[in-house]
Amino acid sequence: MAESESQEGNYDNRGNKVQNFKTDMEELLEKMEKLTVHAAWMAYDCVHIQTNPDLHYAMRHLEDVFLMCKEQMEKKWQEVLME
């Protein structure tokens, strides 16, 4: 009798392991899909930037403006803290 209960426990345990495996595989596949899409967009962006130099200059300008804005915000924040 104890042996049949042990076998039932093993069967339940195997069922849980299979379900956990399926869940883990689904999660990994979803992550791989997201990474694949992200890599494809990065490749597209690289090709697009290389074929359109104006875009590169526009991005550089946006980055410079962002850094200047960030610097001004930090200065204002320091002034507020000093008050």
Domain with 34, as residue range(s), is 10-51
Q: How far apart are CA 16 and CA 48, in angstroms?
A: 48
41-76 residue pLDDT tens: 888 888 777 777 787 788 889 899 999 999 999 888
Domain co-membership, 16 together with 47? yes
Q: Which of 4-8, 33-37, 63-67 has the lowest mean pLDDT?
A: 4-8
Check: CB of residue 49 under 8 Å from CB of residue 59. Answer: yes
> Does residue 3 lie in a domain region?
no
Domain co-membership, 28 together with 60? no
Domain co-membership, 38 together with 17? yes
Domain co-membership, 39 together with 70? no
| Torsion sign (Cα): 55, 61, 64, 65 | negative
Q: Report if pTM > 0.85.
A: no
